[in-house]
């Protein structure tokens, strides 16, 4: 992480989509049928554009241990959340970007990730306690992330744990195609959102 290039400009935080829960529920039965098409059109118009697909990174970090990774579906994007308790509002360093092949740090071995494109997620949050060496996140190199199932997602296709090396955790995120994404640093969390499309919601 310390060898990364200077961080990119801070990402804009939009009001829409900052929750870390799964996708919004469908309209309830109390919503008049006639209003549903209008509501759907309004939601489509609200989908963000302009995130881009270039690598995004921030070097400053607090190096707290990673304890969990989870995913969720939203109206405009699929979301991955890395939980790093104890960071609070302090920064979590990261480097997130598309790669042709995911290579494991240290060994240099390739890690197979399914999908039309692969996003490498590097977070300055080891999967172990730096003081004791005890694992804080029970993932295994080359295997799917524990407890994560992306079946039925519009954008996500696969997740793979590459490992933790020199304080960084490395994850492969397989997606449908090379699509725009953003990275958000929230209290105790690092969030990666990958859009469903390049334009409005399809």
> Which pLDDT does position 25 carry in this prediction?
34
Q: What does residue 36 show for φ and ψ, rounded to 5 degrees?
A: -65, -50
pLDDT at 200: 54
81, 22 in Cβ contact below 8 A? no
What distance in Å separates the CA atoms of residue 184 and residue 84, rounded to the nearest whole number?
13
- Give the residue ranges of the chain where pLDDT is below 70: 1-45, 48-49, 200-202
Mean pLDDT (the chain, rounded): 81
Query: Around 100, how many Cα atoms within 13 Å sit in the side-chain half-sphere?
Result: 0
In the block, tokens 């790093």 appear at: 84
State residue 161's pLDDT score. Answer: 98
Q: Each residue of 126-154: pLDDT tens digit?
A: 999 988 999 999 999 999 999 999 999 99
Question: Which tens digit of pLDDT belongs to each residue from 177-188?
Answer: 999 999 999 999
pLDDT of residue 88: 87
Query: Euclidean distance between the first and final Cα of the chain, in Å?
Result: 36
Whole-model pTM: value is: 0.76
């Amino acid at each position: 992480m310390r060898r990364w290039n200077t961080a990119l400009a801070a990402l804009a935080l939009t009001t829409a989509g900052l929750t870390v829960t799964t996708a919004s529920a469908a309209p309830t039965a109390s919503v008049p049928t006639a209003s549903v098409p209008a509501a759907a059109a309004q939601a489509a118009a609200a989908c963000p554009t302009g995130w881009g697909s270039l690598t995004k990174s921030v070097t400053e970090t607090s190096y707290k241990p990673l304890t969990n990774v989870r995913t969720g579906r939203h109206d405009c994007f699929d979301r991955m959340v890395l939980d790093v308790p104890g960071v609070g509002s302090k920064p979590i360093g990261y480097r997130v970007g598309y790669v042709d092949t995911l290579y494991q740090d240290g060994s240099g071995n390739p890690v197979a990730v399914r999908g039309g494109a692969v996003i490498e997620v590097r977070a300055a949050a080891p999967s172990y306690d730096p003081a004791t060496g005890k694992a804080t996140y029970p993932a295994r190199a080359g295997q799917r992330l524990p407890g994560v199932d992306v079946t039925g997602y519009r954008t996500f296709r696969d997740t793979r744990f590459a490992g933790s090396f020199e304080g960084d955790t490395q994850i492969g995120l397989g997606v449908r195609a090379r699509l725009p994404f953003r990275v958000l640093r929230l209290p105790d969390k690092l969030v990666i959102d990958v859009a469903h499309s390049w334009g409005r919601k399809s």
